[in-house]
Amino acid sequence: MALIEKIVWDILWGLPLIILILAVGIFFTFITRFFQFRYFGYSMKQAYKKFFKNNNNKKDEGSISPFEALSIAIGATVGVGNIGGVASAIALGGPGAIFWLWVAGVLGQIIKMAEVSLAVHYRSKDKEGNTYGGPTYYMKKGLGEEKNLKILSKTLAFIFIFGFGVGFFITMQNYTVSEAVSSTFNLNMITVSIVYTVLLYLMISGGLPSLGKIASKIVPFMCAFYILGGIFIILKNVSQLPGTLGLIFSSAFNGTAALGGFAGAAFAQVIKVGMSRAVFSNEAGWGSSPMIHASAKTDHPIRQGLLGIFEVFIDTIVICSITSLVIVITGEWSSGVSGAALTLSAFEHGLGSLGRIILTLGILLFGVTTSSGLYAQIEVLLRYILGDNSKSKDKILTIYKWAYPIPGLALVIIAVINELPGVSVWLFADMSTALPIFANILALLILSPKFLSLLKDYKARYMGIGKLDPSFKVFYEEEKEVSVK
């Protein structure tokens, strides 16, 4: 396990990747003139319309509504990363990891907006009229058609697919849910994992359109419950809030001294853990959410990209913050417990045993929606690899549907048999995020001029900012048709 920890923190999540994420986030913030700050209210307003107003144009191309795409994406991001991932980050890096989680969240908003917008712009349509897109699509179309970038395009796509494929085998959702349910109700963890696997099969049986409808019903409810429960605990202990915030900020740069069951963490560990768990939670730069948003019915890529800002805000700035503050403000962070069990202990401390039971059921919902969202994302990659004309495509996708839940069950069985602690299991999850992020972030950096041109057009077209170019095409396929003519 020491070797795996060294690989994760010294190589995969070493200083180069941390600097790359921070640099690209700052770069996009500057070239968009601090868009996520200046137009934060506008972004929230657009998200509000998708949640509460039926303003979708049936003529817009796409497979699912923008709200369903947002629900699947949030369902995939708001989940075990917020509960088990954040808790394990605090257990491993101390309260200071929360500060770097916030930094990654603020910068992640504009990164998510860029990758979603590019995914919608470069998306493809299959023979049934369904739209699909994501990092591999904008790597191929945005980079691959440039003569001097063809090799780079294929290399980045390979790294992304390989890294994301690792996530197929190392999936934390089943483990986190099984850990939470078994510890709360004193059940066998493997038995819980089997039940969860059956539920997941039922969830994914209807494909992406079905997932969109189910997620749009479950996600708002589970987010509201979690937020209200966490706020109640924080308000209940509001007198300790200033000290909690002081501990978070001071520990972010100085590490944390040993306290209770917590062994302390150096500055390098604090920033690495905070950044890695933020990305695992909000998925900004990971390239996962764009594979869902690319299927949304929308008239402009930036319109869907704006929902990326909302997505990261809800995931990291709201829900991850609530998880973090509850864990620290209740004093449970130094108990020596980690993972979902730590979050459950903190909620039980604040709400009693009933709160723990209700949260456990919430974790079950979080887990199922997260697993379902990841299922849809990997399906997009398979469709990219197989191509539209592959005779075996349908057969392979069917095999994938039946095979998808198995690695999660296997991970639980292996962890239980080998008595692996939650912190150790989460190290494997951190391995699965580093490679896709590296490839995706580089692609976003190279394609930043295209993102800026889309943003410029959207501002002129819908916000009354700047001069509109009537000849500008907002979708890649439209550009291609014009160039052919």
| pLDDT score at 456 | 95
Q: What is the pLDDT of residues 402-451, one digit of tens each?
A: 888 888 888 888 888 877 665 556 566 666 667 888 889 999 999 999 99
Half-sphere exposure of 305 (CA within 13 A, CB side): 27
Please report which confidence band the pLDDT of residue 75 belongs to, taking 50, 70 and 90 as the band edges: low
Q: Which amino acid is present at 276?
A: S
pLDDT at 299 over 80: yes
Of 260-274, 285-299, 446-460, least confident by mean pLDDT is 260-274
Q: Which residues of 101-115 are buried (b: 16+ CB within 10 A; e: fewer)?
A: bbbbbbbbbbbbbbb
54 to each of 50, 208, 218, 357, 461, how far by Cα in Å?
A: 7, 20, 18, 35, 21
| pLDDT score for 117 | 95
Q: How far is CA 118 from CA 63, 136, 199, in A?
A: 17, 11, 33
pLDDT higher at 338 or 345: 345
Core vs surface per residue 199-216: b (16+ CB within 10 A) or e? bbeebbeeebeebbebbb
CA within 13 Å, CB half, 453: 13
- If we measure between CA atoms, which residue out of 430, 424, 104 comes closest to residue 282? 104
pLDDT of residue 88 exceeding 80: no
What does the pLDDT read at residue 291?
84
| pLDDT tens column, 181-213 | 887 888 888 999 898 888 888 777 765 555 556
Q: Which range has highest mean pLDDT (86-95, 270-279, 311-320)?
A: 311-320
Whether the pLDDT of residue 13 is over 80: the answer is no
Q: Above 90 in pLDDT, residue 225?
A: no
Q: Work out the burial of residue 238: count CB atoms within 10 Å of its CB; fewer than 13 is exposed, 13-18 middle, 19 or more buried.
A: exposed
Report residue 250's pLDDT band, with 50, 70 and 90 as the boundaries: confident
Residue 232 burial (C-beta neighbours within 10 Å; 0-12, 13-18, 19+): middle
Q: Is the pLDDT of residue 111 over 90?
A: yes
- 297: DSSP letter: -
Whether the CB-CB separation of 190 and 412 falls below 8 Å is answered with yes
Q: Is 384 helix (H, G, I), strand (E, B) or coil?
A: helix
Residue 253 above 90 pLDDT? no
Closest by Cα among 143, 142, 136, 138 to 157: 136
Q: 447 lies in which domain range?
A: 2-484
| N- to C-terminal Cα separation, the chain | 59
- For residue 167, pLDDT over 90 is answered with no
Whether 482 has a pLDDT exceeding 60, the answer reads: no
* Better-predicted residue by pLDDT, 259 or 105: 105
pTM of this structure: 0.79
* pLDDT of 261 strictly over 50: no
pLDDT band at 306; cut points 50, 70, 90: very high
Residues near 108 by beta carbon (within 8 Å), at least 6 away in sequence: 25, 278, 279, 282, 284, 285, 312, 316
Mean pLDDT of 217-239: 81
> Average per-residue pLDDT in the chain?
78
- From 81-90, 152-161, 259-268, 419-428, the region with the lowest mean pLDDT: 259-268
d(CA 142, CA 157): 12
3-state secondary structure of 89: helix
Q: Is 335 a residue whose pLDDT tops 60?
A: yes
Q: What is the pLDDT of residues 358-397, one digit of tens each?
A: 778 777 777 777 777 778 777 777 877 777 666 677 788 8
Q: Rounded to an integer, what distance in angstroms lies between the CA atom of residue 192 and that of residue 429?
A: 20
> In the chain, how many domains are there?
1
| CATH code of residue 7 | 1.20.1740
Whether the CB-CB separation of 155 and 149 falls below 8 Å is answered with no
For the cut 60, the answer to whether the pLDDT of residue 262 exceeds it is no
Angstrom distance (rounded) from CA 90 to CA 74:
23
| Mean pLDDT score, 319-334 | 86
CB atoms within 10 A of CB 173: 28
In the chain, the percentage of residues whose pLDDT exceeds 90 is: 15
Predicted local distance difference test score (pLDDT) of residue 259: 44
Per-residue confidence (pLDDT) for residue 281, from 0 to 100: 66
